[in-house]
Chains A and B, each alone.
Chain A
Amino acid sequence: MKRRIIMKKSLSVFLCLLLTVGASFANGSKDAASAKFSKDPDFANGKFGTTRSITVEVFDRSNDGGTNPENNFYTDYIKAGMLKEHNVKVTFKRVPRWTEPDAMNNLLAAGTAPDLCLTYSMPTINTYAQMGGVLDIAPYLDTYKSDLSNLYNTVGDLNINFARDPVKNVVYAISAVRYVNARTATFVREDWLKKLNIAEPTNSAEFEAMLVAFKDNASTLLGKDAAKMIPFSMGVDVGWEGGLILDQFIPNAISDKDWWINGFCDRHTLQPGIKEGVRLLNKWYNLGLIWKDFPLYPVGDKTAANNAKAGYVGAFIGNWDGPYRDGDNGIVGGLHKVVGPDANYIAVDTFKNDAGIYRKYQSSPLDRFLFLPSTNKQPLASMMYLDFISKPEVRKFLQIGEEGVTHITQANGAIKAKAAKAPKIMNSSNNIDLTMTINGLDVGDPSLNALSLALGYAGVDPKYIQKSYLLQKVGARYDPIFTVGTVASESGQGPQFQVKRDTLLAQAVVSKPVDFDATWDNGMKAILASGVQKIIDERAALYEKYYGAKK
């Protein structure tokens, strides 16, 4: 009994001690204060009186043979320029590209995030903003507009104001501009078409016939590897790698309004008509035309790409320049090595919608989102940085580098990229990690841009790039942007929803045809019930509120 009392006493003393110490620990870290806007008297004609210091986020891709992302030939160029033109000292802070969301969380939580950050995920910024972790840059964009002319000219008004809250007039992020607005394309094996004497398919029925032909002629095409034939390869991300097949069932007459209301899903899964597209995939899967094991391999797994490189795959859907990237290590590069120089993937337009158009639902010109964490003490200097790297001569240099070293100017003026080694190697293609405000090559002239683009792929005949790029413009329809501020019900939904969506699509495709309707309908119901219907409803309401009057 006495022992018990002693135990109890010592435990309670312990707990009191714990709470006191705990409280004192926490008091050590202060709440981050958010700066209030006021015009900076030290700033005139784009320059600061006293030298300011900022840190800028840069991705670390850990690529083979790459240079230190924080300290290399190109960062030196930027640092020198910033010091000279704006009297701002720049330090780069590296963030691992692959674990970027985790790293960003850590940095923000620790209060050590760089002054200028970028991310692909707007919901992330919104969530941080709701917690008070992001600075409102509307005052800087408005007050200093004349000093930010390069920024405005490069990205355009739309990208600056797309996230401006119509009521509170706050801007938490601006967007870089996407110069090459292309998404996915359908690729087929050019050499197989020749061998079997088939013309490029121009509609869905011909495409299916082509796949059947691949399957039936497996021994002709692959010899002893006939069992490894994959007429159509797909990945577990069915919305992306089967996207064009699904999109053809979306009614052509769909309005921008409805498109946007259902637009939470970037794979278009919430749009009308998708179910029929999945039904078609289901039919093809059960006919043995689709890679049987596709749902087992996680996103990003190399097996599908390796199958393509090894020559087993007849057709697939992917990024418009996907097979042509990475030179020797890319799909076409591998194909040339394993199969031969005649083997190639060519982009084709095959899937017509109900109006007979090869519809491509392209993204809006929004690209990466740039924001300033609330720990930023030099917001104006940060904005000047964005202006500096949007300067045409600066970004052109960053994108193409030095003549003869990282590019060779062709007779017609087009730029052909050249792979360099350290110290002038570009850690990301066209130094996209450093050119924060632009994605896509811009040498100043649109026609030269197109020509240069085609030359940018090592080991690939430019005609393939050109064809794929041209097809991207055929029937293109771009995502509309409606500024409604934050959609509250979207917070926290992103990753959960993606998982559910991918699961539903995969399960529906592999199900037996008799089970298809039940699988799809039940799955869709569950998704909508888990909070997605709320998002759709909220979007509809917000649209009515801000755009309902205008038609």
Chain B
Amino acid sequence: MPKKKQDLGKYLSRYWTLYLLLFLPVLYFFIFKYIPMTYIQIAFKKYSIIKNVWTMPWADNHGMEYFIQAFSNRDFIFALRNTVMLNFLDLVVGFPAPILLALLLNELKFKNLKKFTQTVAYMPHFLSWIIISGLALQLFAPNTGMINGLINRMGFPSVPFMNEPVHWVVTYVLMGIWQSVGWNTIIYLAAIAGISPELYEAAAIDGAGRIRRMWHVTLPGIRPTIVVLLILNLGRILGSEFDRPFVLGNPLVKDVCNVISVFVYNSGIRGLQFSLTTAVGLFQSVVCVIFLFIADFLAKRFGERGIV
């Protein structure tokens, strides 16, 4: 026993600075991430604007009142379904997109064109969705939109980009990609830059063409990055951004455009039902954590270093 203590003492005297460095971040997490969790109890209580969190009265049904309210609300169930569906599509289509773009950009020989394309590609990221929705309507409106105008002139009937549910979903996902793909390539391009050029040369000497080099050198080289980002994104399956569905949605596609965040906005925030809002948020977070652990476990199974 004493030896162990001695070892510990030696270790700390050598590496105490590491703990010093960690102190501030850990304090930050404690205050701004963990303490708010104690306020989550609002989800189980009747929120009162003038009462302290600890003195608010408990909600009915053993505190589960708001969860019951949420799940028995038909709109919430629809919102849940829509959230999962849209997030899943975003993942399936939107996750590979920046990887693909990064790979293609990497192959470009002309450095200036590459730089220019990169710079332009991330521009849409800076436009807030409010601005984009205005643009979207100008482009995609069935009768007055620019694109349908062109299509009509060519003799075809209008495409209902935004007023039919299936078309709307496709438009929604594609707009999401358009807005974020350029931005997301940044990480991948940085990772690709870290791959040793000698590996490429070796592959070229072995007779590998362009595509094979991409497959055998570039992709494996950024595999750790891809896995990490995939795990992080999988956990977000139930998360829901507010801006995009809110501004792109309209009454004709209410069945698919209503997601959890919009539901929370209408029922919780505008309706001043804070307990309900917190309860739904709690539900989302719990599901997130479950997915995180599943994804991390799977990643480790496949030999990659997880994140937990």
Which A residues fall within an 8 A CB radius of B?
A: 18-19, 21-23, 25-27, 29-32, 34, 101-102, 105, 108-109, 111, 124, 127-128, 131-133, 228, 236, 292-293, 295-298, 301, 303, 374-375, 492-496, 499, 502-503, 505-507, 510, 526, 530
Residues of B within 8 A of A295 (CB): 163, 250-252
Complex formed: what's the CA distance from A131 to B142 in Å?
47
Between A and B, 25 residue pairs with Cβ closer than 8 Å are A21-B30, A21-B35, A23-B38, A23-B54, A26-B52, A26-B53, A27-B52, A127-B272, A131-B47, A228-B144, A296-B162, A296-B163, A297-B250, A298-B250, A301-B134, A303-B137, A374-B50, A492-B276, A494-B271, A495-B270, A503-B251, A503-B254, A506-B250, A506-B252, A507-B252
B117 at the binding interface (Cβ < 8 Å): no
Q: B50 touches which one: A31, A499, A507 (CB < 8 A)?
A: A31
Tell me, rounded to whole Å, the shortest Cβ–Cβ distance linking A23 to chain B: 6
Tell me, rounded to whole Å, the shortest Cβ–Cβ distance linking A516 to chain B: 15
Are B52 and A492 in touch, CB under 8 angstroms? no
Q: B35 touches which one: A25, A131, A374 (CB < 8 A)?
A: A25
Tell me, rounded to whole Å, the shortest Cβ–Cβ distance linking B162 to chain A: 6
Chain B residue, CB-CB nearest to A510: B252
B49 at the binding interface (Cβ < 8 Å): yes
Q: B267 touches which one: A32, A236, A492 (CB < 8 A)?
A: A492
Listed from nearest, the 8 A-B pairs whose CB atoms lie closest are A22-B38, A506-B251, A495-B270, A32-B50, A492-B271, A503-B251, A292-B143, A131-B48
B75 at the binding interface (Cβ < 8 Å): yes
B6 at the binding interface (Cβ < 8 Å): no
Known A-B contacts A27-B52, A131-B49, A506-B251; the reply to A293 vs B272 at CB < 8 A is no
Residues of B within 8 A of A21 (CB): 30, 35
Residues of A within 8 A of B252 (CB): 295-296, 506-507, 510
Chain B interface residue count, Cβ-Cβ cutoff 8 angstroms: 40
Are B143 and A18 in touch, CB under 8 angstroms? no
Are A293 and B143 in touch, CB under 8 angstroms? yes
Known interface pairs A18-B30, A128-B49, A507-B251; 10 further A-B residue pairs with C-beta atoms within 8 A, sorted by A's residue number: A18-B34, A22-B38, A105-B272, A108-B49, A293-B142, A295-B252, A496-B266, A506-B251, A506-B252, A530-B75
Complex formed: what's the CA distance from A19 to B251 in Å?
45
Tell me, rounded to whole Å, the shortest Cβ–Cβ distance linking A527 to chain B: 11
Are A530 and B74 in touch, CB under 8 angstroms? yes
Chain B 136-178 interface residues, beta-carbon cutoff 8 Å to A: 137, 141-144, 162-163
Tell me, rounded to whole Å, the shortest Cβ–Cβ distance linking B294 to chain A: 21
Complex formed: what's the CA distance from A236 to B250 in Å?
9
Tell me, rounded to whole Å, the shortest Cβ–Cβ distance linking B77 to chain A: 12
Chain B positions 16 through 37: 1 when the CB is less than 8 Å from some CB of chain A, otherwise 0:
0000000000000010001101
B118 at the binding interface (Cβ < 8 Å): no
Known A-B contacts A293-B143, A297-B137; the reply to A495 vs B250 at CB < 8 A is no
Are B137 and A495 in touch, CB under 8 angstroms? no
Chain A residue, CB-CB nearest to B47: A131
Residues of B within 8 A of A228 (CB): 144
Known A-B contacts A295-B251, A298-B247, A492-B267; the reply to A31 vs B53 at CB < 8 A is no
Complex formed: what's the CA distance from A293 to B163 in Å?
9
Q: A109 touches which one: B49, B254, B266 (CB < 8 A)?
A: B49
Are B163 and A133 in touch, CB under 8 angstroms? no
Chain B 156-202 interface residues, beta-carbon cutoff 8 Å to A: 162-163
Complex formed: what's the CA distance from A174 to B270 in Å?
22
Chain A residue, CB-CB nearest to B268: A492
Residues of A within 8 A of B247 (CB): 298
Complex formed: what's the CA distance from A492 to B51 in Å?
19
Complex formed: what's the CA distance from A297 to B251 in Å?
10
Tell me, rounded to whole Å, the shortest Cβ–Cβ distance linking A487 to chain B: 15
Chain B positions 243 through 269: 1 when the CB is less than 8 Å from some CB of chain A, otherwise 0:
000010011101000000000001101
Residues of A within 8 A of B137 (CB): 296-297, 303
Tell me, rounded to whole Å, the shortest Cβ–Cβ distance linking B168 to chain A: 10
Tell me, rounded to whole Å, the shortest Cβ–Cβ distance linking B217 to chain A: 39
Complex formed: what's the CA distance from A301 to B53 in Å?
40
Complex formed: what's the CA distance from A42 to B86 in Å?
64
B61 at the binding interface (Cβ < 8 Å): no
Residues of B within 8 A of A303 (CB): 137
B273 at the binding interface (Cβ < 8 Å): yes
Known A-B contacts A21-B35, A298-B250; the reply to A292 vs B52 at CB < 8 A is no
Tell me, rounded to whole Å, the shortest Cβ–Cβ distance linking B208 to chain A: 45
B13 at the binding interface (Cβ < 8 Å): no
Tell me, rounded to whole Å, the shortest Cβ–Cβ distance linking B3 to chain A: 15
Are A133 and B38 in touch, CB under 8 angstroms? no
Are A494 and B270 in touch, CB under 8 angstroms? yes
Known A-B contacts A31-B52, A132-B51, A526-B74; the reply to A492 vs B35 at CB < 8 A is no
B55 at the binding interface (Cβ < 8 Å): yes
Residues of B within 8 A of A375 (CB): 50
Residues of B within 8 A of A293 (CB): 141-144
Complex formed: what's the CA distance from A337 to B144 in Å?
23
Complex formed: what's the CA distance from A343 to B69 in Å?
54
Are B50 and A496 in touch, CB under 8 angstroms? no
Residues of B within 8 A of A496 (CB): 75, 266-267, 271
Known A-B contacts A293-B141, A295-B252, A303-B137; the reply to A27 vs B34 at CB < 8 A is no
Complex formed: what's the CA distance from A105 to B277 in Å?
14
Tell me, rounded to whole Å, the shortest Cβ–Cβ distance linking B252 to chain A: 5
Complex formed: what's the CA distance from A150 to B128 in Å?
49
Residues of B within 8 A of A31 (CB): 50-52, 55
Tell me, rounded to whole Å, the shortest Cβ–Cβ distance linking B270 to chain A: 4
Complex formed: what's the CA distance from A417 to B38 in Å?
56
Residues of B within 8 A of A102 (CB): 269
Residues of B within 8 A of A133 (CB): 48-50
Chain A residue, CB-CB nearest to B130: A298
Known A-B contacts A32-B50, A296-B162; the reply to A499 vs B35 at CB < 8 A is no
Chain B positions 58 through 76: 1 when the CB is less than 8 Å from some CB of chain A, otherwise 0:
0000000000000001110
Tell me, rounded to whole Å, the shortest Cβ–Cβ distance linking B149 to chain A: 9
Complex formed: what's the CA distance from A219 to B251 in Å?
32
Residues of A within 8 A of B49 (CB): 108-109, 128, 131-133
Q: B271 touches which one: A26, A111, A493, A526 (CB < 8 A)?
A: A493
Most buried by A among B30, B39, B271: B271
Residues of B within 8 A of A506 (CB): 250-252
Residues of B within 8 A of A29 (CB): 52
Residues of A within 8 A of B272 (CB): 105, 124, 127-128, 492
Tell me, rounded to whole Å, the shortest Cβ–Cβ distance linking B145 to chain A: 8
Chain B residue, CB-CB nearest to A29: B52
Residues of A within 8 A of B34 (CB): 18
